[in-house]
Amino acid sequence: MKDNTGVLLYYDLANFDYTLLGISPNDLGFSQIFRAGVDIKVLDAASNNEDYSGSVVYNSNTSKLMSRMREGAKGVLLTDYVLDKKFIQFLSQNKNFLLLPINKLISDSGFSRQRDLLFMRKLIRYLESSRVEFSIITFTDDPAHQYSRMQLLYISQLVFANPEHAKAHVTNLKSIIGDE
């Protein structure tokens, strides 16, 4: 997404309320950092008696996620980078979006991180070929790990074949969640 002067606007999603901590999205280079639970409804697909319409759901069980999509959830927040082709085809057919957080990648180290990078690369290649809308986000619980735009972009570029595609997927959060 671009502003009136044609400058790209960057967005992120955090899993804490940064306004209480005095963190400014502008200092980190973001146009806006959305807050899970405040700006975007993020729900566990396993919880019952919830209104899922318009929400973003997360769970490791893909069949549960699919049933919540049928109940009106519009997006999925991934908890791991494991590729499930059937699930991605479902997202593609139903025009649902996917949020891909890098918090796991950052908290891991050594071989685990290399494994994450490899899986993420495969996943992204498949998402791009399936034409599923997705966005790369930080989604950290810890304010100390709320990284800057520069870091989010360069980490994303590690897993994209084309660096320009990485840029497109760290600037599209606002448009895919439909917060116009």
Chain contacts with other proteins (rule: CB under 8 A): 27-29, 106-107, 109, 113, 142, 144-148, 150-151, 154-155, 157-158
Residue type, 76: V
Distance in Å, CB of 147 to other proteins, minimum: 6
Please give the Cα distance from 53 to 3 (Å, whole number): 30
The smaller minimum CB distance to other proteins, of residues 27 and 180, is found at 27
In sequence order, what DSSP letters do the residues of 90-154 get, joined into one string?
HHHHHT-EEEEE-HHHHH--THHHHHHHHHHHHHHHHHHHHT--EEEE---SSGGG---HHHHHH
Distance in Å, CB of 38 to other proteins, minimum: 22
The smaller minimum CB distance to other proteins, of residues 28 and 132, is found at 28
The smaller minimum CB distance to other proteins, of residues 95 and 150, is found at 150
Largest CA distance in the chain: 46
Distance in Å, CB of 9 to other proteins, minimum: 18
